[in-house]
Homo-oligomer: A and B are copies of this chain.
Amino acid sequence: MKTASKDQPLKIAVAGLGTVGAGLLRLAEKHASLLEDRSGRPILVTAVSARDRNKNRGVSLDGMAWFDDPVAMAARADADVVVELIGGSDGIARQFCETALGNAKHVVTANKALLAHHGTELALVAEEAGVTLAFEAAVAGGIPIIKSLREGLAGNPIRRIYGILNGTCNYILTAMHKYSHEFNDVLKEAQKQGYAEADPGFDVDGIDTAHKLAILASMAFGARVNFDGVYVEGIRHVSLTDIRFARELGYRIKLLGTALLTNEGVEQRVHPCMVPLDSPIAHVEGVFNAVVADGDFSGTIIHEGCGAGAGPTASAVAADLVDIARGHSTPTFSIPAKELKSLPASPLEHRTGPYYIRLMVVDRPGVFADVAAALGRHDVSMESVIQRARAPGEQVPVVMIIHDTREDRMAAALADIGGLEAVVEPPRMIRIESF
């Protein structure tokens, strides 16, 4: 186990000086004495690497060695720890981390894509080398959920963990609800405000949430990170009509990442959910994130806070640095990487739960009988139905709440219903979660 001498400063090399990197340098400068009080030693940034040396970042790089090539910095910088803020699941970021670990340097990263794809392998390398791979900043920004799962709830098997893990999606869904705007209008506004990227797919299609979920699931269940085992569905198909029906029915629509242990393995899924208003997660608004973990002794524990941005991310990186400065070392994913289980992905088809279904139908005699017959054929039973504004021959929404049903039967019934001539759009389905 490598631990730098405890009366020496802990030396840090930072790769990537965008918003988050600059935020970290600001934190390290502004709170140098707090970090030293808490670590028992100074934490010094000794080297940096970024694309443009001369860009004004509002922080001084004086006294820091400059590297044009981050990988060269990972190999050669006079540093105990490297911080990876480059991003991307492969390429430079991965090479940077592997090089640092290969040179017995601790790695702190905010890179969820990298960890979702290569987390287990990197953890094996780090633990073999006796250095730390830490990533509090990779999930839910400033919320210390990784530490809580790895340490604060260490006495608890966690059987289920779920949360709102993407601030962009939550901002969009909140705005649709609050201002009654359609998805595309809110997305455009969010892009203008800087809450959404020009290419929003990573966020709104659920991929970012899936990355974070795969990391949380590994940590919670002591299993190898299995991003490929995550079912992913984004929020593009959520319409204002659905948001309004949700409100009327006493629900809110949230994009949740959910991971749970089943008899078959681990079920990991990302999709819009209807959650009841009295659920603690229903009131998490705007860019906030929240993570709910169910421990067998601790009970339900909820963490909530700002899920992104320079300040929260820098705070999370700083916490990891303080741990390393203190000489603390914990297995990367809560148990040693070589003991992480390979749990099979539990098929979503076997999930059982209630559903919200919305059909757009041409209102004419017999339509509803056809829909009911399709449900009946697949043994799917309806709890309630809303149909209003009957205008013969016109398109009207028909909303049904479906009793607990297995996903594969629901899908088969929807395929039949989608084939009916009077059903003019593909049926919309949103899973209901009564946490």
Whether, in the assembled complex, A314 has its beta carbon less than 8 Å from a beta carbon of chain B, the answer is yes
Q: Is A302 an interface residue (CB 8 A)?
A: yes
Report B-chain residues with C-beta under 8 Å of the C-beta of A144. 147-148, 151-153, 301
**B-side contacts of A222, CB under 8 Å:** 37
**Chain B residues within 8 Å of A319, by CB:** 151-155
Chain B nearest CB, measured from A301 CB (Å)? 4
Contact assessment for B297 and A155 in the assembled complex, using a CB-CB cutoff below 8 Å: no
A142: nearest residue on chain B (CB-CB)? B298
Query: Cβ of A326 < 8 Å from any Cβ of B?
Result: yes
Which listed segment binds B: A256-264, A267-275, A327-335, A416-424? Answer: A327-335
Q: How many residues of A contact B (CB 8 A)?
A: 59
CA distance A157 to B38 in the complex (A): 11
Stretch at the interface among A7-15, A61-69, A241-249, A305-313: A305-313
Residues B301 and A154 in contact, CB atoms below 8 Å apart = no
* Complex Cα–Cα for A269 and B305 (A): 24
**A10 to B: closest C-beta gap in Å:** 13
Interface SS, A side: mixed
Closest to A38 in B: B154
B298 contacts A154, C-beta separation under 8 Å? no
Distance A329 CA – B327 CA, assembled complex (angstroms): 9
Task: Find the residue from A136, A154, A280, A302 having the highest chain B CB count within 10 A.
Answer: A154
Q: Which of A300, A306, A315, A339: most chain B CB closer than 10 A?
A: A315
Q: Which of B155, B298, B316 interacts with A306 by CB under 8 Å?
A: B298
Bound together, the chains give a CA A434 to CA B154 distance in angstroms of: 35
Question: Within 8 Å CB of A284, what residues of B?
Answer: 280
Which stretch (A27-35, A77-85, A182-190, A223-231) binds chain B? Answer: A27-35
Chain B residues contacting A316 (CB-CB under 8 Å) are 298
Bound: A296/B39 CA distance, A: 19
Residues of B within 8 A of A153 (CB): 142, 144, 315, 319
In the assembled complex, the Cα of A34 lies from the Cα of B222 at a distance in Å of 10
Q: Which residues of B contact A156 (CB under 8 A)?
A: 31, 315, 318
Assuming the contacts A147-B148, A297-B23, A312-B298, asked whether A155 and B34 have C-beta atoms less than 8 A apart, the reply is yes
Q: How far is the CA of A31 from the CA of B143 in the complex (A)?
A: 27
Q: Does A322 contact B (CB under 8 A)?
A: yes
Whether the pair B301, A280 counts as a contact (CB closer than 8 A) is no
| CB of A407 closer than 8 Å to a CB of B | no
Contacting residues, chain B, for A404 (C-beta < 8 A): none
**Is A51 positioned at the interface, with any CB of B under 8 Å from its CB?**
no
| Complex contacts, A39 vs chain B, CB 8 Å | 154
- What is the bound-complex CA distance between A269 and B212, given in angstroms? 38
Distance from A217 Cβ to chain B, minimum over Cβ atoms (Å)? 16
Q: Does A377 have its Cβ within 8 Å of any Cβ on chain B?
A: no
Map CB proximity to B onto A138-175 as digits: 1 under 8 Å, 0 otherwise: 00001110011001111111000000000000000000
Asked if A197 is an interface residue, CB under 8 A from chain B, the answer is no
A157 proximity list for chain B (CB < 8 A): 31, 34
Per the bound structure, the CA–CA distance linking A289 and B127 in Å amounts to 37
Given contacts A147-B152, A148-B152, A155-B319, 13 further A-B contacts (CB under 8 A): A23-B297, A27-B155, A38-B154, A144-B153, A151-B322, A155-B315, A155-B322, A280-B284, A296-B311, A299-B311, A301-B304, A326-B329, A328-B330
A–B pairs, 18, beta carbons within 8 Å: A31-B297, A35-B155, A40-B331, A142-B295, A143-B298, A151-B323, A154-B318, A154-B322, A155-B318, A295-B315, A298-B306, A298-B312, A298-B315, A299-B305, A299-B306, A302-B302, A302-B304, A328-B328
For the complex of A and B, list the 10 residue pairs with the smallest distance between their C-beta atoms, beginning with the closest. A144-B152, A155-B318, A142-B298, A298-B315, A299-B306, A297-B315, A302-B304, A301-B305, A154-B322, A297-B311
